Amino acid sequence: MKNEESRLQAACVQWFRLQYPVMARLLFAIPNGGSRNPATGAILKREGVLPGVADLMLAIPSQGEPGLFIEMKTPTGRQSKSQAEFMLCVTEQGYRYRIVRSLDEFIETIKDYMA
């Protein structure tokens, strides 16, 4: 994940944990990205790491949806093909999926989902 996306994600997670301390453990990162050597990459792939999986998962059912996946992007960032395919897979299963580009957008997304 790029540094700008990483900083955004950290700020979003911090905000969530301060606002919803009882549910803090239900928002978690899915660290699929990053640079790894080939041996570690092969191990992770065997363990189930998949390209395109969203950056965050909120494991709280709400509004008839079993959970929320959040993909962090910079203001100009675009989904990869594998991210778009993941989005289709999870939304077909009833999950909500959102692309978030700012802390304000994250806050709005969470408040809307939790309402």
| Domain coordinates in residue numbering, the chain | 3-114
Query: Rounded CA gap, 98 and 69, in Å?
Result: 6
Fold of 3-114: Trna Endonuclease; Chain: A, domain 1 (3.40.1350)
How long a stretch of residues is the chain?
115
Task: Return per-residue pLDDT of the chain as tens, 115 residues.
Answer: 569 999 999 999 999 999 999 999 999 999 876 677 888 878 888 988 889 999 999 999 999 999 999 999 999 999 999 999 999 999 999 999 999 999 999 999 999 999 9
pTM: 0.91
52-76: b (≥16 Cβ within 10 Å) or e: bbbbbbbebeeeeeebbbbbbbeee
Distance (Å, whole) CA 10 – CA 56: 11
